[in-house]
Homo-oligomer: A and B are copies of this chain.
Amino acid sequence: MSAPEIPPTHRDLLDASVATLATVGADGTPQLTEVWFLVEDGTIGISLNTTRQKTKNLRANPACTFFVLDLANPARYLEIRATAEITPDAGRRFATKVGAKYDTDLSVHDAPGDERVVVRIVPRRVNAVDMSA
């Protein structure tokens, strides 16, 4: 079974620096935040601190949407409806890779004892939109 493809017209959006991650809270309301991400072997991964509400939301309900807006032309965007696969980030290896991409140390955002997980975005449906086309 293959994942839905991102069309060539919108693949550049995976080079964006940030994306919007939408999860669903316990009360059924979407929660949207901007996140850093890393694409490895065609898979989108996000490093999340387990104390964050979005991580709690994903653990309770892994349905999520990864959304990238073209900042230069916000009529163009990529919406990936997905299931989150959450795994422990053993030795913080993934957080270190994400930090290297952004030239920072993700642990500055963590309190002592905080843990991180790797969230893989497993696409179920891809909508590539360009209202300006």
Contact = CB atoms under 8 A, between A and B. Distances in A.
Interface of A: 17-18, 20, 22-25, 27-34, 61, 63-65, 67, 69, 71-72, 74-75, 77, 79, 81-82, 124, 129, 131
B31 A65 contact: yes
Most buried by B among A61, A63, A67, A79: A67
Question: Which are the 6 A-B pairs with shortest beta-carbon distances?
Answer: A22-B30, A29-B63, A30-B65, A32-B67, A30-B30, A71-B71
Interface of A is mostly: strand
Contacts of A79: 31-33
A82 B32 CA distance: 12
Nearest to A70: B71
A74 B34 contact: yes
B65 A34 contact: no
A47 to B, nearest CB: 15
Contacts of A63: 27-30
A87 to B, nearest CB: 21
Given A18-B74, A69-B69, A30 B34 contact: no
